[in-house]
Amino acid sequence: MLTGRQFIRTAALFALAPHGLAQPEKEVWVNDVHSALNRTRVRELLKPRSGDELVDIVHSAARKGLAISVLIEAEAGIQWPALIRAYLEAQREMKDQWGIAQKQTGADTFTLGGSLASNVHGRGLAMKPLISNVEAFTIVNGEGKIVRCSRDENEELFRLAMGGYGLFGLISSVTLRLVPRRKLRRVVALIQANELARGFEERIAQGFLYGDFQFSVDEKSPDFLRRGVFSCYQPIDKDESVAAEKKLRDDDWLELLRLGYTDRAKAFQRYSEYYLSTNGQTYWSDTNQLSAYLPNYAQKLREQIGGSDSSLIITEIYVPRPDLAGFLARAAELLRTNGTFVIYGTVRLIEKDEESFLTWAKQPYACVIFNLLTLHTPQGIENSAKSFRGLIDLAIERGGSYYLTYHRFARREQVLACYPQFKKFLDLKKTYDPAERFQSDWYRHYRRMFAS
C-alpha cells in the first residue's frame, strides 16, 4: 500500500462572503478548464502545505462566515504524475514493482483528493470505480476536526465523501491499494458497434486488462457512432521489452481537434490510422494511463480557425451492455436531428459499485462519453443542453444513468430517475455539515432544485 499525502500541493477555494460581509478588494475568478462555461467568483485562493494548515482554513472560514468550495480542477493535492513518479523512485531497486490500478482518463492534472471526491474510473475492463482502490483517507470536517474514514471507521462518511464532490470536507491524506505493475501489449482493430459488447466480453475472457472504443464522429457518414477503433491491452511476459515508439504529441492532438471542428471524416481517418499503426506496441500498466491534455485548446483553435467563442462540454452516459449498440444508433439519430456536433467520444466499461452512497455505477455498465461542440451563446448552450437531456432520456429508457457533475442540464425528474437517493444525499450533507461550510455552485443548484 502507498500513502499519498495530499498536502504536497493543496488548494482550497473560499467562495464569496455572504451578504452583509465585506467583499474583497481584488476579484478572483476560477473556471472549468474543459468547457470554460462555469466561471465562478471566489473570495481567495489558498494553497496550504500541511494538514495543520487545512485545519486552520476551516476554522478561519467558520469565524468569517465563509463557505469553502473544493473544485476538482484546482490544485487540491498531489497529482497523478507526481504520485507515479514518487512510488517508482521508491521502488527503483525492486524487481517486482507495484502501481496504481486506475486513474481518470483524458487529463493527468487531477489530484488524488479531487479524484476521490469524484469517484473516478479509468479504462479497466473489469474494474469498479476508484473507491474500490481506496483503503482509507483522513478528512477535515466542517468543525475543523480531522476524521479518519474507512470501511471499518466512520463508514457512512467514507461512503458519502467518496463521490461526494467535496461537500463533506477537505481530504487530507489517502491510503491507496496498489496492484502489481504489468507489461501490456496494445491490440487494435476497427469494428462495428454491434460487435462491441461481444468484443469486450472476448477480451476480458482472454485476460486483457484495459481497453476502450473510440467511435466515428462524422455525422454525415452511416458509420457515425457505429464504427470505431477498438484498443485493448493484454498482459505479456515480464521479460519482454517495453517499446512504444509512436506517440501523439500535443501538436498532434491539437491537429486532431482542429479536424474535429472542421473535417470530422478526416479526423476519424487520421485517428484510426494512427492507432492501427501502434498495434503491437508495449507499455507499463500504470504509466500507460497518463495522457496529454490541452487546457487552452479552445483559444488555440480560435487562433487557427476563427469563429465564435466555443468549447467542448462533456457528458458520460451509462447503459446496460446488451443495449449498447441500440443506444448508439438512437443517439446518432438524436444528435443529427438536433444538429449537434460530436468532436470526440469513447466507450468504456465499469463494474457495479456497491460502496459509495451517490453511486453512479449501479450495475455493470457501458460508459459512453460525448464531447459536444458548444457555442458560447444562450442558443448554443441550450442546443447542447437539449441534446444532453435527450441522451439522458435514452439511457433512462434502458435502465441507464449519467454522470452528475459535467453539467447541470438534467431535469429534476431525470436526476431522481437516475439517483433516487439524491434527496437523502442532500439531507446527509446538512447532517455532516450543518453550517454548510463546504459549498459549490453545483451544490447550490441542486439545493434549490430540491428545496421543495
Question: In whole angstroms, what is the distance from residue 161 CA to residue 151 CA?
Answer: 12
Three cell numbers, residue 72: 476538482
Domain of 304 in residue numbering reads as 183-285+296-417
Region 73-102: mean pLDDT is: 78
User: CA 209, 122, 159: angle at the middle one, nearest 5?
Assistant: 115
The yes-or-no verdict on residue 23 having pLDDT over 60 is no
**pLDDT tens for each residue of 247-256:** 888 899 999 9
Same domain, 377 and 401: yes
Same domain, 375 and 305: yes
Identify whether 403 is part of a domain.
Answer: yes
Identify whether 290 is part of a domain.
Answer: no
Same domain, 134 and 25: yes
Identify whether 199 is part of a domain.
Answer: yes
- Total domain count, the chain: 2
| Bridge-based pairing state of the strands 365-375 and 146-150 | unpaired
* C-alpha distances out from residue 149 to 83, 361, 436, Å: 21, 22, 20
Three cell numbers, residue 282: 508495449
Same domain, 120 and 191: no
Give the helix ranges, DSSP H, for 65-149: 80-90, 112-118
Same domain, 86 and 104: yes
Sign of CA pseudo-dihedral 111, 309, 44, 146: negative
pLDDT for 106: 81
The yes-or-no verdict on residue 29 having pLDDT over 60 is yes
Q: Which helix (H) or strand (E) holds 319?
A: strand 310-320
User: Do residues 333 and 56 touch, judged by C-beta distance below 8 A?
Assistant: no
CATH of the domain at 323: 3.30.70.2520
Identify whether 171 is part of a domain.
Answer: yes
Identify whether 291 is part of a domain.
Answer: no
Q: Model pTM?
A: 0.86
**pLDDT tens for each residue of 157-182:** 999 999 999 999 988 888 888 889 99
Does residue 332 sit in helix, strand or coil? Answer: helix
Give the number of residues written for the chain: 452
Same domain, 89 and 220: no
Same domain, 115 and 198: no
Question: In whole angstroms, what is the distance from residue 145 CA to residue 158 CA?
Answer: 15
CATH of the domain at 53: 3.30.465.10
* C-alpha distances out from residue 287 to 146, 283, 291, Å: 32, 8, 9
Same domain, 230 and 344: yes
